[in-house]
Structure 1
Amino acid sequence: MTEHVVSSRSRGFLFLDSHPAGCARLVQDMWQAVPEPAPDGRTDEAPVALVIGSSAGYGLAATIAGLARAGIRGIGVSFERAPGRRTATAGWYRTATTAELAAKAGRDFVFLNGDAFSDEMKDQVADLLEQRFDGRLDHLVYSVAAPRRTDPDTGVTYASVLKPIGETYRTKTLVFDSEGSPEVTTVETGPAEGDDIEQTVAVMGGTDWARWIDHLAGRDLLAQGFATVALTYIGSPLTAAIYRQGTIGAAKAHLEQTARDLNDRLAKEVGGRALTSVNGAAVTQSSTAIPGIALYVGLLRGVLDDAMVPPIAQLTQLWDQLTGTAPLDVDDEGRVRLDTWELTPAVQEAVAERWQTATTDTISTLAALDWFTTRVQQLYGFAVPGIDYTAPVETDVPWPHHAT
């Protein structure tokens, strides 16, 4: 037994440990938030799905919503650190609980831990699909956020950067001092240089998504009518210079072009389709690293309060569209739009007005700071109602086992 009290020590928005019981409760709450499916999906004919990036953020929401709402079978892939000198990563504990809930619901779902960018992982997934899931795949959800990617063909490692394109970017941002008091400061980010754009596109664009499709199609594993979707974000004009018009935006544009190319190909090969799903703003481990995003999300919550749509509700809508429970709703560029609640003119005008007047003195009246800080802590399993953080907890939780 390796029970001990886990404390919430952090450096800014990055926590040093994760709390297993808190992570478990959050996954349970997400599962409970998914409406019961109309048909019973617990049959051998349940759709087979692959979720790449299944342990955090929108990928976790896609996994839970797919299991609870669409009754999927299949595989989730993520890259998490096992428990050792420190606790495991939060995604490790979230995966363990997701696997328990899937088993209780009768879903045959396997979780693999490793580098999704590698051909070894692609081979492992393809082998499992052949041996366990009738050699067919109905859906692939791609939700990978990583700082680096190694090209399996060349061995070259690319690193993504968060930079504007063309000129230096100055923006307000939200930080918290050592006492936890909020501060609105200004940060400056220099423009992309050299091959920054190409490097970022190589990591966060559509190259690996297309490689997954190539790999699985090469093994003849794509079912007739196969559908794949990559999760993405557009966001507000307030953050566009660093996000949609910056290096990350270049990668997102590449992802969307990849979707169009894949869509043409899949339509011909298997009567299938490829889409991007534009999701709304949320507090995630990746979003908190982007300058200005913390301030924007806090202000957005201040405007919308409970009308802000959580990831699990958005991904429930997506699965309904993918499985035909609801009509597929795409924009003029072929993107599923789950962010319309965020980008209405009235909401954006209200957020922009608060942004202009936000200072350290006024921020507590303009942004939902308690909500935001709670959500950041919950990324690591802390600040979860009903959890006794003074009690020892088992941290040596095993990765979900699957019978061969």
Structure 2
Amino acid sequence: MSERVIAPKSRGFLFLDSHPDGCRQLVDEMWQAVPAPVTAEGEGPVALVIGSSAGYGLAATIAGLARVGIRGIGVCFEKAPGRRTGTAGWYRTAATARLAQQHGRDIVFLNGDAFGDAMKEQVADLLAERFGGRLDFLIYSVAAPRRTDPDTGDVYASVLKPVSSPYTTKTLVFDADGAPEVKEVTTAPAEGDDIEQTVAVMGGTDWERWITFLADRSLLADGFTTAALSYIGSPLTAAIYRQGTIGAAKAHLEATARTLDERLGKTVGGRAVTSVNAAAVTQSSTAIPGIALYTGLLRGVLGDTMVNPVGQLVELWDQLTGARPLDLDDEGRVRLDTWELAPAVQDAVAARWSTATSDTITELADLDWFSDEVHRLYGFSVPGVDYTAPAETDVPWPVPTALDTRVCD
């Protein structure tokens, strides 16, 4: 037992500890927000979610379990409790596994480097031994600072930089007392092989490697479908995002989808798509200059009509499973961001952006919501949690139950 009171101490948007009770309650809320299942009774499809513990990958996992009744595997890379608490993703994974077991969903969570072939071997063995040797769906949701190439051992590092020229933008920060400030920051442009390095980490290379690896083991079911989660975003953030180094990686991801779609159509009658999701507060997005300000202003314009990640991933699963028609744009992408990029919405956000200062920001953006969302990433600011009480931090990684002892609905 390792109980202690956990306070939300942070450096900017990065928190030093996570709250296990808050993370568990947050996962409960996400599960409860999923509409009733759309699949018939019986064993659901087998799915692999790569990047299952945070952001849209977590939403994909929970929506898949609660809406579609998926079975299968979640892969993530989280830190165990030790001198500090475990990472938030560690606690969220434990909570997701608990709910899955309660609802009779057979899912195994693996903790390790998704870029490495050792993890691919482990997943392939599990699919063969536990899940009948077939995979119906693969969701790829990986945001990482670096990647080691399994063939060469070369280490690539991703960067968030504009291309060609420096980029100056407004950004939102909070001072030591929690007061909001709107500042200007300038980011130097990409140089050397920054673009190639970022594409090597965040592009489609590893996604395609996963598909090839599983196909070579004859593990792709007829009709196998895969989706990589992506983002385009607003013209206000385009220079640092879609037109920057990360945008080059997203373009590579989309080109990979087209290649995989043609290949899977010929081999297993399947398909590959990218899913363009809409803005949300995530651990990855808060690191991008300007995104915090943009998201707070977007919430100020839309309020509760913003569609949260679980709502978006329910829509994606409905389309992937045929509960709703697959709705693709001209480039073969599922677009879950149309409400965000509607011209009237973008015009309203742009107007607020142009007048946003430290003096006006509280009138223009929903900062209470934004601050709460950042805290919730680490299990804080979750209603119903007593943060004055000691919490047990030594939460074990979930061990799958034996197949014949699973709890069923």
Shift of 1:100: 0.5
> Counterparts of 1:130 and 1:380 in 2: how far apart (Å)?
35
Q: Secondary structure at the match of 1:141?
A: strand
Who is 1:13 aligned against? 13
Using the alignment, how far apart are the partners of 2:305 and 2:36 within structure 1?
A: 22
Match for residue 351 of structure 2?
353
Which residue does the alignment assign to 1:307?
305
Contact 2:108/2:400 (CA < 8 Å) preserved in 1? Answer: yes
**CA–CA separation in structure 2 for the residues paired with 1:103 and 1:403:** 8
SS in 1 for 2:338: coil
Q: Aligned partners of 1:51 and 1:167: how far apart in 2? A: 37
Contact 2:39 2:67 in 1 (8 A): no
Equivalent in 107, 120, 129 of residue 127 of structure 2: 129
**Partner of 2:340: helix, strand, or coil?**
coil
The answer on whether the counterparts of 1:40 and 1:71 sit within 8 Å (CA) in structure 2 is no
Shift of 1:244: 0.1
Q: Which secondary structure does the structure 2 equivalent of 1:341 belong to?
A: helix
Partner of 1:32: 32
1:266 equivalent in alignment to 2:264: yes
The answer as to whether partners of 1:164 and 1:241 remain within 8 angstroms in 2 is yes
Give the Cα–Cα distance (whole angstroms) in 2 for the partners of residues 330 and 171 of structure 1: 32
Task: Note the alpha carbon deviations across 1:114-153, whole angstroms, 9 max, x for none.
Answer: 0000000000000000000000000000000000000000
Amino acid at match of 2:244: G
Post-superposition CA distance 1:278-311 (Å, at most 9, x none): 0000000000000000000000000000110000
Q: Which residue of 1 aligns with 2:295?
A: 297
SS of aligned partner of 2:396: coil
Q: 2:3: which partner in 1?
A: 3
Code of the aligned partner of 1:199: Q
Whichever residue aligns with residue 24 of structure 1, its letter is: R
Q: Structure 2: how far apart are the matches of 1:38 and 1:198? A: 42
Separation in structure 1 between the aligned mates of residue 47 and residue 296 of structure 2, nearest angstrom: 34
Give the counterpart of 2:392 among 385, 391, 394. Answer: 394
Deviation at 1:386, TM superposition (A): 1.0
TM-score, normalization by structure 1: 0.99
Q: Unpaired segments of 5 or more residues in structure 2? A: 403-409
2:113 pairs, out of 108, 112, 115, with 115
Paired residue type of 1:10? S
**SS of structure 2 residue aligned to 1:342:** helix
Once residues 296 and 39 of structure 1 are traced to their aligned partners in structure 2, the CA distance between those partners, rounded to angstroms, is: 37
Does residue 382 (structure 1) correspond to residue 391 (structure 2)? The answer is no
Give the gaps of 5 or more residues in structure 1: none
In structure 2, the residue matched to 1:316 is 314
- Confirm whether residue 151 of structure 1 aligns to residue 174 of structure 2: no
Aligned residues of 2:39 and 2:69 also touching (Cα < 8 A): no
Of 362, 365, 373, which residue of structure 2 is paired with 1:364? Answer: 362
Q: Sort the Cα spacing of 1:361 and 1:399 in 2 relative to 1 into closer, same or farther, 3 A.
A: same
CA distance in structure 2 between the partners assigned to 1:140 and 1:343 by the alignment = 27
Distance in 2 (alpha carbons) for counterparts of 1:31 and 1:305: 22
Contact 2:135 2:221 in 1 (8 A): yes
Structure 1 equivalent of residue 76 of structure 2: 78
Aligned match of 1:280: 278
Separation of aligned partners in 2, 1:207 and 1:287: 22
Matching residue of 1:92: 90
2:406 is aligned to none
Query: Which residue is 1:212 aligned to?
Result: 210
Provide the C-alpha distance between the structure 2 equivalents of 1:57 and 1:163, rounded to a whole number of angstroms: 22
Partner-residue secondary structure (3-state), 1:320: helix
- Whole-angstrom CA distance in 2 between matches of 1:8 and 1:322: 38
Task: Encode CA deviations 1:325-346: one digit per residue, 9 max, x unaligned.
Answer: 1100110000000000100000
**Aligned mate of 2:230, from 219, 229, 232:** 232
Counterpart residue type for residue 200 of structure 1: T
Residue in structure 2 matched with residue 222 of structure 1 by the alignment: 220
How far has the Cα of 1:40 moved from its partner?
3.4
Provide TM-score, normalisation by structure 2.
0.98
Q: What does residue 371 of structure 2 align with?
A: 373
Deviation at 1:37, TM superposition (A): 1.3
CA distance in 2, matches of 1:164, 1:343: 21
One-letter amino acid of the structure 1 residue matched with residue 99 of structure 2: L
Counterpart residue identity of residue 83, structure 1: P
Aligned partner of 2:99 in structure 1 is 101
User: Aligned partners of 1:39, 1:109: CA distance in 2, in Å?
Assistant: 17
Q: Output the CA distance in 1 between the equivalents of 2:339 and 2:401.
A: 43
> 1:194 matched to which residue of 2?
192
Q: Percent of aligned positions with the same letter in both sequences?
A: 75
Cα distance in 2 for residues equivalent to 1:403 and 1:158: 37
Q: CA deviation at 1:403?
A: 4.3
1:402 Cα deviation from its structure 2 partner: 1.6
Q: 1:59 and 1:39 mapped to 2: Cα distance?
A: 21
Q: Which runs of 4+ in 1 moved over 4 A?
A: none
Q: What secondary structure, in the 3-state scheme, does the structure 1 residue paired with 2:8 have?
A: coil
| Partners of 1:283 and 1:363 in 2: CA distance | 18
Within 5 A, what are the aligned runs for 1:235-254?
Answer: 235-254=233-252
Matched length = 402
Within the alignment, does 1:65 sit opposite 2:63 as a pair? yes
1:206-225 deviation digits (Å, cap 9, x = unpaired): 00000000100000000000
Aligned partners of 2:54, 2:346: CA distance in 1, in Å? Answer: 27
Report the Cα offset of residue 255 of structure 1: 0.1
**1:79-110 Cα deviation digits (max 9, x unpaired):** 00000000000000000000000001101100
1:138 aligns with 2:140: no
